[in-house]
Structure 1
Amino acid sequence: MLYLNRVILAGRLQEDPEIRYTPRGKPVIFLTLSLPSERPEDESFPFEDVSIRVMLVGEESQSWAQQKGKAGGNVLVEGGLVQRRWETAEGKMGREIGVIAHGVKDLR
């Protein structure tokens, strides 16, 4: 069976990029991308816009985040889906699906 994990998203940055660093000093950038939901023709269902967490890694990403990444900006993200799981302090399991990006471009 063939598997393909590839996404291309175009959306709006909800907030300025967050820059963190790995223990070895490699920059990791986190974005929150807002996308409109696909809505069925029957508008009676309450749909919210989708917010998805995007992670970028590397010096090039840090440069982009510092120079061009601003809340409200429109961007195109290419990458793959990732899943993160954790246990809360209350012992419940948390789960988040996001994107690890291979590239990001401004849409102006």
Structure 2
Amino acid sequence: GILDLSKVEAGKMTIDSIPMNLSSLCNEVVSLFAIKARQRGLVLDYHYTESLSPYIKGDPVRLKQVMVNLVNNAIKFTREGGRVTIDVKHMQDNPCLDN
């Protein structure tokens, strides 16, 4: 939330880089919101690129926090009858991911 943003801006947030299962984390987030989306009359689409390894190094706590916030907002601000799509794929040459 707000406290995390202030930590990022101050350069005081630590982000882990540990082995994690991205596929499982994504499935967990989708499961968390499937009922909420259905109750709001929305379709929740989820696509995980088959060629993408489920195992990566990252911060599972922070990544889940970001995904939960994004999906929650997408569901909250999508009109009834709409669609929310989660598309997980590899992006080439992304400087944000370089160490």
- Which TM-score tier does this pair reach, normalised by the shorter chain? under 0.3
Provide the TM-score with structure 1 as the length reference: 0.23
Higher relative contact order (CA 8 A, sep 6+): 2
Please state which structure has a larger fraction of its residues in strand: 1
Report which of the two structures shows the higher radius of gyration computed on alpha carbons. 1
